[in-house]
Amino acid sequence: MRLIGWMAWRLHRRALIGFGAGGFLLSFAYGGAYNQAAGTTDASRAAFGRTISLAAKQFAFLVPIPVHPETLGGYEQYKWLSSAVILFAIWAAVAAVGAARGDEERGLTEQWLASGLTRGRLLVARTAAFGLALLFVAVASVLGISAVAPLVHSDANVGGELLKAVSMTAGVLAAYGLVLLLAQLPAERQTATSFGVGILVLLLIVNGLADTIDSATWIGAVSPFHWMERTSSAAPGGSFDLLGTLGLAVAAAVFVAGAAAVFQRRDLGGGLIAWGRRTGVAGRVAAVNPLLRTPITEGLWEQRVGLLVWTFSTLVVGALMVSVSKSVSDALLSDPRLGAMFARAGAGSVYATMLGFIWFGFALLILAGYSVVQASRWAAQDQEGRVEMLLTAPVSRTMVVIDRAVEFATASLLVVAGGYVGVATELPRSGLGLDAGRVFTASALMWPFALAFGGLGVALASRWPRIAVPALAAFAVAEYVLGDLAPILGAPGWVANLSIFHLYGNPVASAPSWPPAFWMALVFVVGFGAALLLMRRRDLSSS
Amino acid sequence: MTAAITTDKLTKDYGGGRGLFDLDLEVAEGDVFGYLGPNGAGKSTTIRLLMGLVHATKGSARIFGLDSMADAVAAKRLIGYAPGELPQFGGLRGAEIVGHFAALRGGVDKTRVKEICERLELDLGLKFREYSSGNKRKLAILLAFMHRPRLLILDEPSNALDPLNQQELFKLLREATADGATVFLSSHVLSEVEHVCRRVGIIRHGRLVKVARLEELHEMHVRKVEVEFADGAHPELFRGLPGVEDVVANHNRVTFTARGSFEAVGDALAGHHVVNLSSHEPSLEEVFLTYYQDRKPEEARA
């Protein structure tokens, strides 16, 4: 138990503090937004709830069906906790890959096993430690709702919120167990990360399809997101799915047991899937692969599998989103109130507004996530001593930063291009009747968006590699929330524009505006410049 | 002739007495310099400063007259560096790692790479994570030697190598120095330094306490000796002999420490029935305990 407590604190302390504090504060922020958007009278709140319910049904692919959205708990469950679950699942994937692969690369696993701990007990202890940290974060995230309740003239619902936290913990722990199992298969951390994040995105899409297509409801049973959604107790009058939550806990245990069984069979440092070894005379000369000749192309070559997965996934999701945009839009327009609302909101066609929301809004999240993954890669390279080794060759610190910036710009352009190809391929068949040029421009503007996050990631990883990932992830979440809440709270335009998400806007619906692109590119340039200065001034130490 | 390495009051203060302080050192071109010190003495900090990886708190370091920080890129063209531990290259194959660094350096002869690989029996076809610690060490040696650098900076290079490969490493070092290369070899193992170095610097608590030629090092070279006689102990044979200290008798055995030449001890044993005689080289830490335990660095240097 002491080991579990130590692991929970020592190995998850940054995420624990960051997610815990962030989750609590975001509950407050969404509470404020609820008060602003729903009003303070019962009548205004009831009307607000009806509108939200009506609109949310059409977006069931992306977000869960709200339960009592006219209440504070229902609204927070719909707006905040549904996003929090995805954030926690990403954290689970990163933590599971770290437990399965990162610890091994750092030699920690070897040390633990040498101290007499069995492989099975090690995985159980790591899982329990993550579960403990997760439970704390989930409880902090839901209790913020009760804490803000008196301020927005609502009733607290502590019991229901705690049950929701338990359900979230069980579901995310199941996701952790699944990734822990998958991460045993390949030998490389990057491949394991791609596997883990990929499977979670797939399960999220499966849940979305189950919520959207009546005949496919049954497939939702394989997704932990589906079972977490079945508990809606954070909303007054919501329900707690005891069997579903127990099922998630059992699934987590089964996955961890499976991971332990695979771990028992494989070699330390290797994967269950063993790729062929190359030996002999051919292995006695330096590789002549031209992509290995410069740091930039070497980096792209090394992450080629992950980059292909990101690009191809973005392409597929882009095409999928375009294909459902028209049916979703038509369903919304069939309601006169929502039709009028969209007519007021969108400067262009309703279809364009909807595509901007469904695809481009989602693509921005993908790109922000990609930036965090890249920052994680740079941080790992720094901590493992690869940057130090690179600098023992005749390579300047400036070159290291240029390498990262150009590598990121190239890789993010590929991901953006993948999304565009998916959208452009599906667009003629979709019946949306949108201007192809404007869709291209909106896609192209996603590149400076990605560059802005990449620039900040480069700066953070150049000076503070240990905190680069949580800091950039926290920044991305804060930017997203700011972009989401600023219009609801009636914040001035300049405050809203502090959010890069808001700055991007919806260029497929409105005429493209170039100043935002300029500002986003400026963030990249400033981040890159700061990275140059910070990298020059710092001391490098991998130990 | 420009010195290969020059440091002037080179200091890196990490606080709490940790770091490197006021290092004045000159390693001439063609010299083979051993840099000795116990763990945590400041050897790696010195190397990091020479490689321009950390900034000096004060003072300066020059490599062939080039400032190690301001002219880092030009300086590193002249250096071959083997770190104490290679970083994680994960799924990259040995050949890919070598190809990458060879491309960054330029002018690396493939036949040289092949020759070193064959001599060290290093297979570059394997992925880095498949390498044993000995093979990782060989890869580090290959990366340091492959471009025939003018200055080799090696951090405990024979660690994890088996005796045969240690001998091959020493041969490579002798060949490099015969070609005019300068060697700066950091170690905490006296025998490793004795194999290749001409001059030695000893560092302790972040301060250089002694710089000596190898012959002088032998003078301070202490052995622990145990002699077992057939007919009772004879401690009087050793008391007063030059370089012999701490003579203790125990039954038929006599133990003592002997510094420098062993000749006088050999003469003293002549005519006595010796059943067993053992002598072992103390670790560097023991040498330090013998010579510097109760002295401040300044006194020891004096």
Concatenating the DSSP letter of every residue in A397-432 gives: HHHHHHHHHHHHHHHHHHHHHHHHHHHHHHHHHHT-
Query: What percent of chain A has pLDDT above 90?
Result: 35
Is the minimum CB–CB distance between A40 and chain B shorter than 8 Å? Answer: no
Distance CA B250, CA B253 (A): 5
Averaged over A173-183, what is the pLDDT? 95
Report the pLDDT value the prediction gives residue B212, as an integer from 0 to 100.
84
Q: Calculate the alpha carbon distances from A123 to A1, A98, A380, A513 in Å.
A: 14, 12, 22, 51
Q: Rg of chain B's alpha carbons, rounded to an integer?
A: 22
Query: What percent of chain A has pLDDT above 70?
Result: 92
pLDDT of residue A453 exceeding 50, the answer is: yes
Distance CA A307, CA A291 (A): 15
How confident is the model over A307-326, as pLDDT tens digits?
A: 888 899 899 888 988 887 88
Which letter, b or e, does each residue of A493-526 get, where b requires 16 or more Cβ atoms within 10 Å of its Cβ?
Answer: eeebbebbbbbbbbbbbbebeeebbeebbebbee
Say whether B93 and A539 touch across the interface (CB within 8 A). Answer: no
Cβ-contact A539, B49 below 8 angstroms: no
How confident is the model over A473-485, as pLDDT tens digits?
A: 889 988 988 888 8
pLDDT of residue A57 exceeding 80, the answer is: no
- Residue numbers in B near A539 (CB within 8 A): 48, 53-55
Chain CA centroid to CA A141, Å:
17
Least confident of A177-181, A211-215, A436-440, B99-103: A211-215
User: Within 10 Å of residue B58's Cβ, how many Cβ atoms?
Assistant: 12
Nearest chain B CA: its distance from A539 CA (Å): 4
How confident is the model over A498-532, as pLDDT tens digits?
A: 999 988 988 888 776 778 889 999 999 999 999 99
**Residue B242, class by beta-carbon neighbours within 10 Å (0-12 exposed, 13-18 middle, 19+ buried)?**
exposed
Nearest chain B CA: its distance from A463 CA (Å): 13
Which tokens is A456 given?
A: 């900040």
Which of the residue ranges A29-33, A333-337, A448-452, A469-473 has the most confident prediction, judged by mean pLDDT?
A448-452
Report the pLDDT value the prediction gives residue A345, as an integer from 0 to 100.
59
Say whether B93 and A283 touch across the interface (CB within 8 A). Answer: yes
Which letter, b or e, does each residue of A368-392 get, where b requires 16 or more Cβ atoms within 10 Å of its Cβ?
Answer: bbbbbbbbbbbbbbbbbbbbbbbbb
Is the minimum CB–CB distance between A188 and chain B shorter than 8 Å? Answer: yes
Nearest residue, CB atoms, A278 vs list B85, B86, B125? B125
Nearest residue, CB atoms, A269 vs list B51, B99, B129? B129
Distance CA B126, CA A287 (A): 12
Q: Rg of chain A's alpha carbons, rounded to an integer?
A: 24
Which tokens is A441 given?
A: 């421009």
Instruction: Name the residue type at position B60.
Output: S
Is the minimum CB–CB distance between A394 and chain B shorter than 8 Å? Answer: yes
- Residue numbers in B near A302 (CB within 8 A): 91-92
- Residue numbers in B near A194 (CB within 8 A): none
Averaged over A453-480, what is the pLDDT? 90
- Residue numbers in A near B88 (CB within 8 A): 105, 384-386
Nearest chain B CA: its distance from A385 CA (Å): 5
Average of per-residue pLDDT values in chain A: 86
> A interface mutation test: which of B14, B53, B156 has the most A CBs within 10 A?
B53
Report the pLDDT value the prediction gives residue A136, as an integer from 0 to 100.
93
> B interface mutation test: which of A389, A537, A541 has the most B CBs within 10 A?
A389
How confident is the model over A205-238, as pLDDT tens digits?
A: 888 888 877 777 888 899 999 999 999 999 998 9
Chain B residue at shortest CA distance from A386: B87
pLDDT by residue, tens only, chain B of 302 residues? 689 999 999 999 998 888 999 999 999 999 999 998 888 889 989 999 999 989 999 999 999 999 999 999 999 999 999 988 888 787 788 998 998 888 888 888 889 999 999 999 999 988 888 888 899 999 999 999 999 999 999 998 888 888 899 999 999 999 999 999 999 999 877 777 877 888 989 888 899 988 888 777 666 667 889 999 988 888 988 988 888 888 999 888 999 988 777 888 888 888 889 999 998 866 555 655 555 554 544 444 44
Q: Calculate the alpha carbon distances from A47 to A21, A413, A414, A448, B196 in Å.
A: 32, 43, 44, 39, 87
Is the minimum CB–CB distance between A542 and chain B shorter than 8 Å? Answer: yes
Mark out the alpha helices in chain B (DSSP H runs): 43-50, 72-77, 94-105, 110-120, 133-145, 163-178, 190-196, 214-219, 263-269, 284-292, 297-301
Distance CA A84, CA A481 (A): 11
Is the minimum CB–CB distance between B37 and chain A shorter than 8 Å? Answer: no
> What is the complex's ipTM, to 2 decimals?
0.74
Distance CA A229, CA A239 (A): 10
Instruction: Write out residues 92-111 of A within 8 Å (CB-CB) of B.
Output: 105
- Residue numbers in B near A388 (CB within 8 A): 53, 83, 87
Report the pLDDT value the prediction gives residue B302, as an integer from 0 to 100.
42
Report the pLDDT value the prediction gives residue A543, as an integer from 0 to 100.
40
Instruction: Write out residues 59-78 of B within 8 Å (CB-CB) of A.
Output: 72-74, 76-77
Phi–psi pair at B61, nearest 5 degrees: -130, 135
- Residue numbers in A near B114 (CB within 8 A): 284-285
Is the minimum CB–CB distance between A270 and chain B shorter than 8 Å? Answer: yes
Is the minimum CB–CB distance between A280 and chain B shorter than 8 Å? Answer: yes
Which of the residue ranges A250-264, A267-281, B90-104, B203-217 has the most confident prediction, judged by mean pLDDT?
A250-264
pLDDT of residue A286 exceeding 70, the answer is: no
Is the minimum CB–CB distance between B117 and chain A shorter than 8 Å? Answer: yes
Report the pLDDT value the prediction gives residue A280, as an integer from 0 to 100.
52
Is the minimum CB–CB distance between B248 and chain A shorter than 8 Å? Answer: no
